[in-house]
């Protein structure tokens, strides 16, 4: 069942339930009031008969003259056995039952009931002019029941009409209310069919408008992710083209030299070509590893855990020292922990250290500091002893595949600092580049957390 049909059915069911309760309450109220009116009229007429001061003597009974003025009412005077003490026409006698006989015998002060056989209301009261005799009055219920039947028909018609109106209103409300959902559904189907990630127009400020806004936000994130992927693929293709071309050229040269009749290569040339091939393979390996790391960090965020940054930095230092040669590290760390991915953070710190080692001259020192800033964040600073970063390069050092003019002659893929920036942003922090007091580069990684 569609949502529109469910809304229509729910509206009709709610209105039907309310109308049923209201109709039942109205019917019961009118039913009781009409029967009470009949009872009150019978009681009033009985009191008029009993309290009439004008009486006549008939067959040994004192009969009030008012009894002869009763209209649309059957009446009789009965004794304890139910027989008539008043000479009345049998067709005019009210129905006599146990209740009436008990009133005549004095067992009950009065009685009032509905006689199902004659479909009438029957009242019995003691006859004060003669003990052992009861005055019995009965009034047909035809008019009352006809009124109730007409009321039932009216309530049924009103209820049915109300249900139909509620169903139509529910359909209209569902159609109007679900129109934005239909537009959103059509838009999602269009996106799935064409891949077009343009935002969906928003109208109004209700829940569906907020849903559309959230969906547009998701589309923006997907579009941004696609743009990053396309840019990464384009940049990777551009960066891979040079080492692959050089590697292919060197391999073709080696293969050509190995063919019969081709000029031979000297041992020196062969050694140089083999060195170039090894360097190019190393460059490709590093580039592919960096691309994998960037792609992994673009994945949805996994469950983070408590990470002690002192341990992370020390592990990165151990790895950096093994390939730092004659460069030393001046380390000062204060305890700090974050909630994050220890592997990604270690890779980011290692990239900062490797970058500092790459630009530092032999026998120099690389400064490593970690300390809190007092605002809920801590900073990891890595300062090298190299030439520093030019002013025009400072805003772009963390861009993917960006390499300054000084770095283009050095090994590297241009992705190391991009990985640092991505790891920092993934953990709610940021990466900064500046100049160290000694003149070299100062790269900082700022992360939110708390003291260890």
The predicted structure's pLDDT at residue 6 = 82
Distance between CA 357 and CA 411 in Å, rounded? 12
More confident residue, 63 or 238: 63
Q: Which of these, 418, 207, 398, 200, lies nearest to 294 by C-alpha position?
A: 418
The predicted structure's pLDDT at residue 172 = 82
Give the architecture (CATH level 2) of 305-451: 2-Layer Sandwich (3.30)
User: What does the pLDDT look like over 252-280, one tens digit per residue?
Assistant: 887 887 777 777 777 887 888 888 888 77
pTM for this structure? 0.47
Q: Domain spanning 197-299: which CATH class is it, in words?
A: mainly alpha
**Fold topology of 3-146:** Beta-Lactamase (3.30.450)
Average pLDDT over residues 15-29: 89
Interacting residues of 162 by C-beta distance below 8 A, sequence separation 6+: 15, 16, 19
Cβ neighbours of 431 (radius 10 Å): 23
pLDDT band at residue 60 under the 50/70/90 scheme = low
User: What does the pLDDT look like over 135-148, one tens digit per residue?
Assistant: 888 988 888 889 99
Distance between CA 286 and CA 76 in Å, rounded? 119
Q: What is the mean pLDDT of the chain?
A: 81
User: What does the pLDDT look like over 384-434, one tens digit per residue?
Assistant: 888 888 888 777 888 766 665 555 445 555 677 888 888 888 888 999 998
Are 180 and 212 within 8 A, CB to CB?
yes
| Residue 300 structure tokens | 């949805």
Exposed e or buried b per residue across 329-346, where buried means at least 16 C-beta atoms within 10 angstroms of its C-beta? beeebeebbbebbbebbb
The predicted structure's pLDDT at residue 445 = 92
Sorted by where each begins, the domain ranges of the chain are 3-146, 197-299, 305-451
Q: What is the DSSP string of 18-61?
A: HHHHHHHHHHHHHHHHHHHHHHHHHHHHHHHHHT-S-EEEETTE
Alpha-carbon separation of residue 322 from 174, 357, 368, 380 (angstroms): 69, 11, 16, 21
User: What does the pLDDT look like over 306-324, one tens digit per residue?
Assistant: 899 999 999 999 988 887 8
Q: State which of 94-103, 123-132, 247-256 shows the largest mean pLDDT.
A: 94-103
Are 376 and 451 within 8 A, CB to CB?
no
């Amino acid at each position: 069942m569609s949502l529109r049909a469910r809304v229509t059915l729910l509206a009709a069911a709610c209105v039907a339930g309310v109308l049923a309760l209201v109709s039942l309450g109205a019917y019961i109220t009118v039913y009781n009031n009409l029967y009470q009116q009949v009872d009150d009229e019978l009681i009033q007429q009985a009191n008029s008969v009993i309290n009439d001061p004008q009486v006549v003597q008939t067959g040994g009974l004192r009969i009030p003259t008012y009894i002869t003025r009763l209209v649309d009412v059957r009446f009789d005077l009965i004794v304890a056995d139910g027989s008539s003490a008043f000479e009345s026409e049998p067709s005019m006698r009210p129905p006599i039952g146990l209740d009436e006989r008990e009133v005549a015998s004095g067992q009950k002060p009065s009685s009032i009931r509905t006689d199902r056989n004659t479909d009438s209301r029957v009242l019995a009261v003691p006859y004060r002019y003669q003990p052992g005799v009861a005055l019995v009055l009965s009034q047909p219920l035809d008019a009352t029941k006809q009124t109730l039947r007409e009321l039932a028909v009216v309530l049924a018609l009103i209820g049915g009409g109300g249900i139909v109106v509620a169903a139509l209103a529910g359909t209209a409300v569902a159609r109007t209310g679900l129109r934005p959902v239909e537009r959103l559904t059509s838009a999602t189907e269009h996106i799935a069919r064409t891949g077009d990630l343009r935002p969906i127009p928003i109208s109004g400020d209700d829940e569906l408008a907020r849903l559309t806004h959230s969906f547009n936000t998701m589309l923006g994130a997907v579009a941004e992710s696609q743009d990053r992927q396309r840019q990464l693929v384009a940049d990777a293709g551009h960066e891979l083209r040079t080492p692959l071309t050089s590697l292919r050229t060197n391999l073709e040269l080696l293969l050509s030299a190995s063919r019969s009749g081709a000029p031979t290569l000297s041992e020196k040339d062969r050694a140089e070509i083999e060195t170039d091939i090894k360097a190019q393979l190393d460059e490709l390996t590093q580039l592919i590893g960096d691309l994998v790391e960037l792609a992994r960090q673009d994945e949805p965020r996994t469950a983070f855990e408590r990470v002690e940054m002192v341990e992370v930095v020390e592990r990165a230092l151990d790895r950096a020292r093994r390939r730092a040669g004659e460069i030393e590290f001046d380390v000062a760390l204060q305890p700090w922990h974050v909630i994050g991915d220890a592997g990604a953070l270690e890779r980011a710190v290692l990239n900062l250290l490797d970058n500092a080692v790459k630009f530092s001259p032999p026998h120099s020192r690389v400064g490593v500091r970690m300390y809190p800033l007092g605002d809920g964040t801590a900073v990891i600073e890595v300062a090298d002893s190299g030439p520093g970063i030019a002013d025009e390069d400072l805003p772009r050092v963390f861009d993917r595949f960006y390499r300054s003019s000084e770095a283009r002659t050095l090994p590297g893929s241009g992705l190391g600092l991009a990985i640092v920036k991505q790891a920092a942003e993934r953990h709610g922090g940021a990466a900064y580049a500046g100049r160290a007091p000694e003149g070299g580069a100062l790269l900082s990684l700022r992360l939110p957390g708390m003291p260890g």
